[in-house]
Amino acid sequence: MINSIVLRQAGIDDVPAIMEIETPVFGHEAWSTEAMARDVADRNCFYLVAEAHTDALGGDPLVVGYAGLLAPRGSGDGDIQTIAIHPDFRSHGLGRRLMEALLEEAEALHARRIFLEVRADNPHAIALYASLGFEEIAVRPGYYQPEGVDAVIMKKGADL
């Protein structure tokens, strides 16, 4: 039984747990461990992990989701780098919680425009992003290979 799910800032020590979600969720599109570690450690990035705290785990929390934001200070822009939830923990609002926390951080960093990219064949994610105020601004035809799935580019916020 899950007692609670807590969001906290990720550190380099979280990369192995992040990769345990990244690799099966994204398959051949998954980032490498090295690329993820670089992003998590980058001073212009802000990563969160979602930890499930349960009695069954003997008090040890389990990372069940993560999300990352790139927002170079002074640029006015931010980019949602990635977000993933372990399949066993989906459909409970965790993706929304992570996105809302990233958007709060973006606001604190004075990022007025936030961009993201999502597979066109992921209607649940597109609906979540739209409900958070993102609008489709472009499509990259056949971007995701080898399937040839389009990438939908979305933006939230006013132009600078």
Which DSSP string corresponds to the chain? -EEEEEEEE--GGGHHHHHHHHHHHHGGGPPPHHHHHHHHH-TTEEEEEEEEEETTTTT--EEEEEEEEE--TTSSEEEEEEEEE-GGG-SSSHHHHHHHHHHHHHHHTT--EEEEEEETT-HHHHHHHHHTT-EEEEEEEEEETTTTEEEEEEEES---
Residue 100 located in a structural domain: no
Task: Report pLDDT for 141.
Answer: 98
Q: Residue 117 catalytic? A: yes
List the CATH number of the domain containing 83.
3.40.630.30
Q: Residue 129 catalytic? A: yes
pTM of the model: 0.92
Cis peptide before 146 (omega within 30 of 0): yes
* Co-location of 89 and 132 in the same domain: no
Task: Report pLDDT for 58.
Answer: 64
Which of 159, 135, 158, 139 lies closest to 148, judged by CA?
139
Out of 22, 51, 66, 129, the active site residue is 129
- The count of structural domains within the chain is 2
Out of 117, 136, 143, 144, the active site residue is 117
Q: Please count the other Cβ atoms lying within 10 Å of the Cβ belonging to residue 160.
A: 8
Q: CA 115, 22, 6, 55: dihedral to nearest 10 degrees?
A: 160
* Co-location of 10 and 76 in the same domain: yes
Task: Report pLDDT for 4.
Answer: 87
* Co-location of 84 and 118 in the same domain: no
List the CATH number of the domain containing 137.
3.30.70
The mean pLDDT values, 10 residues at a time, for the chain of 160 residues are 84 98 93 97 97 74 96 94 95 95 96 97 97 98 94 87
Residue 13 located in a structural domain: yes
User: Which range marks the domain in which residue 143 is found?
Assistant: 112-160
